[in-house]
Structure 1
Amino acid sequence: MFDFLHVLHLHDATVRSVLFGSLLIGATGGVLGSFAVLRRRSLMGDALAHAALPGVALAFLWTGSKSLPVLISGATCTGVLGVLLIQFITTRTRIKADAAIGIVLTVFFGIGIVLLTHIQRSLVGNQAGLDKFLFGQAASMVEDDVRVMSVMSLLIIVVVLLLYKEFKALIFDPKFLQSLGYSLQRVDLALMGLIVLTVMVGLQAVGVVLIAAMLITPAVAARFWTERLHVMVVLAAFIGGLSGASGTFLSAQAPRVPTGPVMVLVATGLFVLSGLLAPRRGLLARWRRQRSNVLRERRHHFLRALVVLQERSDNAPRFRVDELVQELGWERRRVAGEARRLRRLHLVDCRDGHVQATAQGLAEGTFVVKSHRLWEHYLVYRDIVNADHVDRPADEVEHLLTPDILERLEEILQRDHGIDTERVVDIHGRGSQYRPAGRERNEVGT
């Protein structure tokens, strides 16, 4: 408990550096990840991270220094080279983007592993710690590293703000962007360049293996909560920063647990929560909507059956459960359960084994019957569906028709076919004016 409070009060300079660095990594990754995800370049960050590994090794071999600016400069060079190679492969050959990313990722990563192995087996005494770029080691960050990361993060955010409209148009309407005189390739390269810098910011803490998770996961989690790009960018930055801060505090409680993987696990946890609890796109919200639709359809079918039975029996108000079972084609237990549910909604009354619609239930049932019959007439008279096969399409649509749509259907049927929509009847019944040969009877019921 004391250790946790000590970490929480940020007395340790190392903890402050790691915390601030992790916040920068998470927030910057969330911002650029939003554009990468919507641009369908999610795996680009992974490819660039693996492409950066040879640059780290070559920068060390050339300078003999493990200074973060030197290593990031080398990583940036090979990362940009990776982007250009992917662009070249996709534009000059028939190879698709996913295959090009896979080629660049594996080749550059293989070269990086070979170079790191060579460095570790050489007589160079300063090579220790280079392998941290594979899996990350946030605890090794010092204040100078955080300053470098801060400058890079600030540069990334400023460029995103300046080119926000261009990036937005590139994602949602590239033809419009092109019509304004912009080069799509150059704008896309600018976005890829920012992703390269974002990957470089997080290499030391998260490593080339997991940096893609901090680029993609916060953005995907934010996507569950909103339909607006600017809101998604802000939410992704918040989720990424929260993941970084939480990962730092949690890993500080277990000194042997690296911070980078904990950050990724926290981001994944937030992604799972977002996927479950988001109000519109979450799994629970979707389940509630589907459940509501199922219950609404059952209610409509039940009330429609009561209205149809009432028409057949000269407006008898009450019906036995067996009659409803026969009309609906449901099991008796299901009919009884639906009757109890509708009774709680004050749509029906259940007494002595009989079911009767209330005034509210009768009004809703009449609306459903009219919707069903008007849609049947529309499909048949417009020669969209044969009369023998029109019942099922009407069953599927009757739950979605609104009063405005019904008013439009009535207008069409009255104007074009002379149908009295106030007395619309079952198109399959004897009172219907429709005949398969196209001849219509002028009098109802003959």
Structure 2
Amino acid sequence: MNTLWEFLSMQDANVRFVTIGSVLLAASSAVVGCFTVLRKRALVGDAVAHAVLPGVCLAFILTGEKNPVVLLVGSFLTGWLSLVVIDLITSKSRIKEDTAIGLVLSVFFGIGVLLLTSIQHSGNENQSGLDKFLFGSAAALVGQDLYTFGAVAVLLLVSVVLLYKEFKLLSFDIAYARTIGLPVRKLELLLTTLTVLAVVVGIQSVGVVLMSAMLITPAAAARFWTDRLGAMIVIAAVMSAVCGAAGAFVSFTAPAMPTGPWIVMLLSMLAIFSFILAPNKGLLARYLSQRRVRRQMMRENILKTLFHLGEPTGEYQHSYSKNQILERRQLPVLKMQSALKTLSRQGLTQKSKQGWALTEAGKKEAQRVVRLHRLWELYLTQYLQVASDHVHEDAESIEHVLTPELEKRLEELLDYPTADPHQTKIPQSS
């Protein structure tokens, strides 16, 4: 507790620099990364992250010093050049974009490593710490770095706020953006520039190897929690900022622990958590939803089977044994028993010594399912010209998801039919 309070008080200027810098870099990268993910250009961020290394090295070779502004300009230029090369390769050859990205990434990164090795053997005393751009060293941030990177981070955030609607349209419907006269090409160039800037300002914190994770992971995690772009951006920025502060805290309490990799690891843990436990879109939520649907289908199939058993005589409240139900329709025995108990609790079936029978409410529900099944079979044969002996399986699936609105529409299209393609009576809606 004392350690946390000491960290929060931030009496050490270097702690303030590292924490504020990590939060700004993480949040700004996450905001831009949302548009990168939505435009399906995640790998481009990885290519740019690796392509900035030769820019850093060339800037140092030309100036002989580690001025953050100079290094920023150099890395920005080579990052931009990598995107130009990717576009040229994809537009002027038969090579696909993913292959072009792989080529550019490896070539630029290889050149960067060669230049970095050359600098290390040059004897220049100012080279110390330049290799930190490979894996990042947020702990090395000083006041001058913070001002430079902070200004870029604010520029990124302000640009996104001012052009939010345009970037949103560019991400979801670029054809419509062209139709209404938006300067699509200029907006794409600007968004690409912001992506490059986001990568450039982050490399000192996490390095070129892990920078793509800073750009993509928060956006990917936030995507599981919402369907609204504005909320996605806020969630991604908050996640990334919290992980940035947490990474700085870990580095402060355990000096042997590097800040950048911890930020990425915490973001990855959040992404895994979101992937599994996010409501509606997480694996657990999807599994539970699918299980509910399967159980509902099982119950409706049992009701439908009981209806079919009573249909020849019209005695729908007659009791039928489990064996009679299974003879009519093959169902998993244990799941059928569980479903019958659920139907009984819902008041749709009732149990007697002879077996199971539909209640009045169960009969109405069974009629609805049978009615949808036969309406859909008739629709397939009349409008899609499907043979009548090929429509049953499709109707078995669709009958469970047709809404009352679609049911009404089907009736209108089919002119309120009374029989299905097999000349079996279609139950009327009650």
Please give the TM-score of this superposition, normalised by the length of structure 1.
0.89
Quote the offset at 1:379 in angstroms.
Answer: 3.0
Corresponding residue for 2:390?
A: 389
Change (3 A) 1:331 1:236: closer
Corresponding residue for 1:364?
A: 365
Paired residues of 1:26 and 1:214 also in contact (CA < 8 A): yes
In the TM superposition, what are the counterparts of 1:368-379 in structure 2 within 5 Å? 368-379=369-380
What is the CA–CA distance in structure 2 between the aligned matches of 1:411 and 1:73, rounded to whole Å? 66
What is the CA–CA distance in structure 1 between the aligned matches of 2:159 and 2:125, rounded to whole Å? 40
Deviates more, 1:183-192 or 1:266-275: 183-192
Quote the offset at 1:2 in angstroms.
Answer: 3.1
Change (3 A) 1:163 1:337: closer
What is the CA–CA distance in structure 2 between the aligned matches of 1:68 and 1:262, rounded to whole Å? 23
Corresponding residue for 1:98?
A: 98
Quote the offset at 1:273 in angstroms.
Answer: 1.5
Quote the offset at 1:208 in angstroms.
Answer: 0.5
Corresponding residue for 1:208?
A: 208
Paired residues of 1:350 and 1:356 also in contact (CA < 8 A): yes
Deviates more, 1:55-64 or 1:330-339: 330-339
What is the CA–CA distance in structure 1 between the aligned matches of 2:311 and 2:63, rounded to whole Å? 92
What is the CA–CA distance in structure 1 between the aligned matches of 2:388 and 2:96, rounded to whole Å? 49
Corresponding residue for 2:55?
A: 55
Corresponding residue for 2:252?
A: 252
Change (3 A) 1:63 1:33: same
Paired residues of 1:321 and 1:353 also in contact (CA < 8 A): no
Corresponding residue for 1:400?
A: 401
Quote the offset at 1:36 in angstroms.
Answer: 0.8
Give CA-to-partner distance per residue, 1:361-402, whole Å, 9 cap, x none: 222112112222222333344463323233222211211222
Corresponding residue for 2:116?
A: 116
Letter of the 1:410 counterpart: E
Q: SS at the partner of 1:256?
A: coil
Quote the offset at 1:154 in angstroms.
Answer: 1.2
What is the CA–CA distance in structure 1 between the aligned matches of 2:248 and 2:380, rounded to whole Å? 63
In the TM superposition, what are the counterparts of 1:209-224 in structure 2 within 5 Å? 209-224=209-224
Corresponding residue for 1:174?
A: 174
Corresponding residue for 1:326?
A: 327
What is the CA–CA distance in structure 2 between the aligned matches of 1:183 and 1:408, rounded to whole Å? 42
Q: SS at the partner of 1:305?
A: helix
What is the CA–CA distance in structure 2 between the aligned matches of 1:410 and 1:179, rounded to whole Å? 38
Give CA-to-partner distance per residue, 1:53-87, whole Å, 9 cap, x none: 11111222222212222222221222222222223
Corresponding residue for 2:229?
A: 229
Change (3 A) 1:340 1:150: same
Paired residues of 2:22 and 2:241 also in contact (CA < 8 A): yes
Letter of the 1:264 counterpart: V
What is the CA–CA distance in structure 2 between the aligned matches of 1:174 and 1:406, rounded to whole Å? 35
Quote the offset at 1:297 in angstroms.
Answer: 0.9
Letter of the 1:244 counterpart: G
Change (3 A) 1:91 1:3: same
Deviates more, 1:281-290 or 1:376-385: 376-385
Q: SS at the partner of 1:226?
A: coil
What is the CA–CA distance in structure 2 between the aligned matches of 1:383 and 1:127, rounded to whole Å? 72
Change (3 A) 1:182 1:321: closer
Letter of the 1:129 counterpart: G
Change (3 A) 1:218 1:312: same
Corresponding residue for 2:80?
A: 80
Paired residues of 2:319 and 2:354 also in contact (CA < 8 A): no
Quote the offset at 1:412 in angstroms.
Answer: 3.8
Corresponding residue for 2:307?
A: 307
Q: SS at the partner of 2:274?
A: helix
Quote the offset at 1:155 in angstroms.
Answer: 1.3
Give CA-to-partner distance per residue, 1:214-263, whole Å, 9 cap, x none: 00001111111222222222222112111211211223232111010000
In the TM superposition, what are the counterparts of 1:340-359 in structure 2 within 5 Å? 340-352=341-353, 354-359=355-360
Corresponding residue for 1:439?
A: none
Q: How many correspondences in the alignment?
A: 425
Paired residues of 2:17 and 2:142 also in contact (CA < 8 A): yes
Deviates more, 1:251-260 or 1:77-86: 77-86
Corresponding residue for 1:267?
A: 267
Q: SS at the partner of 1:339?
A: helix
Deviates more, 1:371-380 or 1:276-285: 371-380
What is the CA–CA distance in structure 2 between the aligned matches of 1:243 and 1:46, rounded to whole Å? 20
Tell me the C-alpha RMSD between the 2 structures.
Answer: 2.2
Letter of the 1:200 counterpart: V
Letter of the 1:356 counterpart: A
Quote the offset at 1:178 in angstroms.
Answer: 2.7
Give CA-to-partner distance per residue, 1:324-371, whole Å, 9 cap, x none: 111122254443232123223332222335112233222211211222
Paired residues of 1:375 and 1:398 also in contact (CA < 8 A): yes
Quote the offset at 1:274 in angstroms.
Answer: 1.4
Quote the offset at 1:19 in angstroms.
Answer: 0.8
What is the CA–CA distance in structure 2 between the aligned matches of 1:175 and 1:331, rounded to whole Å? 50
Letter of the 1:366 counterpart: Q
Quote the offset at 1:161 in angstroms.
Answer: 2.5
Letter of the 2:368 counterpart: F
Corresponding residue for 1:409?
A: 410
Corresponding residue for 1:437?
A: none
Paired residues of 1:324 and 1:335 also in contact (CA < 8 A): no
What is the CA–CA distance in structure 2 between the aligned matches of 1:9 and 1:74, rounded to whole Å? 36
Corresponding residue for 1:153?
A: 153
Q: SS at the partner of 2:356?
A: strand
Change (3 A) 1:113 1:377: closer
Paired residues of 1:51 and 1:109 also in contact (CA < 8 A): yes
Change (3 A) 1:330 1:30: same
Q: How much identity, in percent, do the aligned residues show?
A: 44
Corresponding residue for 1:27?
A: 27
Q: SS at the partner of 2:127?
A: coil
Deviates more, 1:337-346 or 1:364-373: 337-346
Letter of the 2:390 counterpart: H
Quote the offset at 1:206 in angstroms.
Answer: 0.5
Quote the offset at 1:181 in angstroms.
Answer: 4.3
